[in-house]
Amino acid sequence: MKAHFFEQILENLPYGTVYLSYGKVVYVNSTVESILGLSKQKLLSLNIEELRFPKKLAELYNKSKRENKTLKLYEEPFINYLGNNYLLNFFLIPISLKDESFLLLVEDCSFLKSMEASKYEKQNIEKLSILFASMAHEIKNPLGVIKGIIQLMTREKESYDEEAFKIIFSELDRIEKIIQDLLDYSNPQLVHIDNFSIIDLINEATGGLLPVVKEKNLLILKEYDSTIPKIFGDRESLYKAVFNVIKNSVEASYIGGKIDIRVRVVVDIKYKEKNRDYSYLLIEVEDSGEGVREEDIQKLFTPFFTTKPKGTGLGLVYSQKVVMEHNGFMKIKSEYKRGTKVSIYLPMKDSL
């Protein structure tokens, strides 16, 4: 009765389920039959290596046996006996050391991943549409100003003073900046992967903004531990990303204002890759400046959206792109007229 009840539980779990004893299969549910493309009769008594699951799983099994703890393996590609492709997560759970019994849970994440990819592609298309429309609008404005001045000069056949040419060159500079920001945004990142100190990077970024900081009489307070591990990444692109965030805070701050920069390791959330979990490094840049209206917060990562008179709206978009390419993410909290806090999360993968 108990054995039958136990099998019913395993059969109805939302995972493929394999029960192993001394490394051999003693039970599989119908989900595993479907994933592997073999009947239960053929699967019973096979050992774990004969299941054709990724080789890493056998290594994981031996490690779980030695350490007597649950281990995980994420997003492993798998081709079953029928030639069908899957993307699988594995959870290996020790049940009893006495007869080396283990429960292997197999999660098929193929459909979920394909849906995520489809959603991501759709979002990319939508973003590109917004980007091109905004780009056309942003470049059209200064071109219209230049065209108008030149038409007046031609029509009146008079030489214009230096002010007219200053306007023309100013608008041309704006077009050049928009194009350069677009190139920065579209160029491939992560070219030179290196091991470096994020603290040194922040100190360098704040040093580059020192003239503006002094001009506005700003106080920059830094709060971090000098023993924070070094991380791997593209230092140049991450420098630009962090610099953009700090620069935004400096420009948004009132004269005599304060900016807090904090760096710490976050242990309550994890970045998962394969069978490893990594902590995040958190960089927070908080000012007490102009802030952003509530209805505009969601637009901050939209290309060409800006609250600055001479901004292109691509700085923060670029920063987000770089952080995401490092498998991280960004969060923004802001209150209008009270300030903004930007949080950058970077996984501590391969950190030293």
* C-alpha of 42 from chain center: 43
DSSP secondary structure letter of residue 82:
T
H/E segment holding residue 179: helix 162-186
Split at pLDDT 50, 70, 90, the class of 199 is very high
pLDDT at position 149 is 66
pLDDT (0 to 100) of residue 274 = 63
Higher-confidence position of 208 and 268: 208
Average pLDDT, the chain: 78
Cα 288 to Cα 335: distance, rounded to the nearest angstrom? 9
- List, in sequence order, the alpha helices (H) in 53-100: 55-67
CA dist 198 and 54 (Å) reads 36
- Nearest CA-CA partner of 75 in 61, 50, 56, 97: 56
Residue 9 has pLDDT above 70, yes or no: no
Q: Which residue has the higher pLDDT, 315 or 288?
A: 288
What residues contact residue 95 under an 8 Å CB cut-off, 6+ apart?
101, 102, 103
Counting Cβ atoms within 10 Å, is residue 334 exposed (0-12), middle (13-18) or buried (19+)? buried
Question: pLDDT at residue 188 above 50?
Answer: no
Q: Say yes or no to pLDDT of 1 above 50.
A: no
pLDDT digits (tens, 9 = 90+) for 117-168: 555 555 554 555 555 555 555 666 666 667 676 666 666 555 556 666 677 7
pLDDT band at 303 (very low <50, low <70, confident <90, very high): low
**Residues 106-118: what's their mean pLDDT?**
68
> Structure tokens of 219?
């106080």
Long-range contacts made by residues 152-161, C-beta under 8 angstroms, separation at least 24?
none
DSSP character string of 310-342: T--S-HHHHHHHHHHHTT-EEEEEEETTTEEEE
Least trusted range by pLDDT, from 72-86, 159-173, 302-316: 302-316
On whether the CB atoms of residues 32 and 17 are closer than 8 A, the answer is yes
Q: Average pLDDT in the 280-304 region? A: 79
| pLDDT of 282 over the 90 cut | yes
d(CA 341, CA 258): 12
Does the pLDDT at position 311 exceed 70?
A: no
The CA radius of gyration of the chain, in Å to the nearest whole number, is: 28
Whether pLDDT at 290 is above 60: yes
| pLDDT at site 108 | 84
Which tens digits make up the pLDDT trace of 54-76? 888 888 888 888 888 888 888 88
Look up residue 198 and give its two tokens. 């994020």
Instruction: For residue 66, give the amino acid letter.
Output: R
User: How would residue 283 be classed by pLDDT, with cut points 50, 70 and 90?
Assistant: very high
How high is the pLDDT of residue 18?
A: 87
Q: Identify which has the larger pLDDT, 300 or 231.
A: 231
Task: Spell out the domains of the chain, with CATH numbers in brackets.
Answer: 2-108 (3.30.450.20), 112-187 (1.10.287.130), 189-352 (3.30.565.10)
Among 40-54, 184-198, 226-240, 245-259, the minimum mean pLDDT is found in 184-198
CB 58 within 8 A of CB 49: yes
